[in-house]
């Protein structure tokens, strides 16, 4: 039994520092800060595919009574719509909005070069061009997508970002696009890549 433990320690030793750094970079975000700056925004998921880092505010999970029901309701809505948006991405759609009941959902994917300057897709992506399905943990899909959409670019020279937002249904689409720009700018500045300029 001790030899198995020793083998496991040796194999996991390389990951210890990595996980330590990742745990320090993980910051719990509460939605209170964003409620003031982004009226009507209920929740968002921002994904930097360059660093494979996901940022989302906490839903203030509670295991008690009505709060638990409301939290679970929001989680179900968010993940169901995220799955729907990724279905659209699999069809080749990189910007989508949808209204369901009292909520307005939006999905944005964009690409930049190493300086943060937006890149126009060179070759349109279509359903079936990449065999791996998209999703939160599908890094291979995004690597294949970048190779397909930017065949003339060097590997690693194109960065990919995603933003999924959930707003109350009364929010105008114009504000949703404004919120997208503001959130993307905030996360870009927080990433520490200040030597790169961001133009949306």
Q: Tell me the per-residue pLDDT of 85-94, one tens digit each, with 9 for 90 and over.
A: 888 888 888 8
* Sequence-ordered list of residues with C-beta below 8 angstroms from that of 59, at least 6 positions apart, any chain: 31, 43, 71, 74, 75
**DSSP code of residue 102:** T
Round the average pLDDT of the chain to a whole number and report it: 78
Which residue, 139, 189, 182, 131, is CA-closest to 160? 139
What pLDDT was estimated at residue 148?
Answer: 82
As given in the structure block, the two tokens for residue 96 are 């989508």
Angle in degrees, CA 184, 175, 159, rounded to 5: 20
pTM score, two decimals?
0.73
Q: How confident is the model at residue 195 (pLDDT cuts 50, 70, 90)?
A: very low
Q: How confident is the model at residue 1 (pLDDT cuts 50, 70, 90)?
A: low
User: Taking 90 as the threshold, does the pLDDT of residue 23 lie above it?
Assistant: no
Q: How confident is the model at residue 54 (pLDDT cuts 50, 70, 90)?
A: confident
* Sequence-ordered list of residues with C-beta below 8 angstroms from that of 124, at least 6 positions apart, any chain: 92, 149
User: Taking 60 as the threshold, does the pLDDT of residue 200 lie above it?
Assistant: no
User: Taking 60 as the threshold, does the pLDDT of residue 128 lie above it?
Assistant: yes
* Sequence-ordered list of residues with C-beta below 8 angstroms from that of 147, at least 6 positions apart, any chain: 155
Q: How far apart are CA 94 and CA 107, in angstroms?
A: 7
**Higher per-residue pLDDT: 73 or 24:** 73
What pLDDT was estimated at residue 185?
Answer: 85
């Amino acid at each position: 039994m001790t030899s198995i433990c020793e083998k496991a320690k040796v194999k996991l030793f390389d990951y210890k520092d990595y996980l330590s750094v990742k745990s320090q970079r993980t910051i719990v975000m509460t939605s209170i800060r964003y409620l003031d700056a982004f009226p009507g925004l209920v929740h968002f998921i921002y994904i930097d595919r360059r660093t494979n880092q996901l940022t989302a505010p906490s839903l203030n999970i509670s295991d008690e009574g009505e709060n638990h029901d409301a939290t679970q309701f929001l989680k179900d809505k968010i993940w169901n719509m995220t799955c729907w948006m990724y279905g659209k991405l699999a069809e080749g759609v990189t910007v989508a909005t949808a209204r369901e009941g009292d909520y307005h959902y939006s999905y944005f994917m964009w690409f930049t070069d190493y300086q943060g300057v937006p890149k126009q897709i060179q070759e349109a992506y279509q359903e079936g061009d990449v065999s791996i399905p998209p999703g939160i943990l599908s890094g291979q899909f995004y690597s294949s997508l970048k190779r397909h959409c930017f065949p003339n670019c060097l590997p690693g020279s194109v960065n990919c970002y995603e933003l999924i937002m959930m707003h109350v249904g009364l929010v105008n689409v114009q504000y949703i696009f404004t919120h997208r720009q503001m959130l993307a700018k905030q996360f870009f500045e927080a990433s520490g890549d200040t030597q790169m300029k961001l133009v949306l």
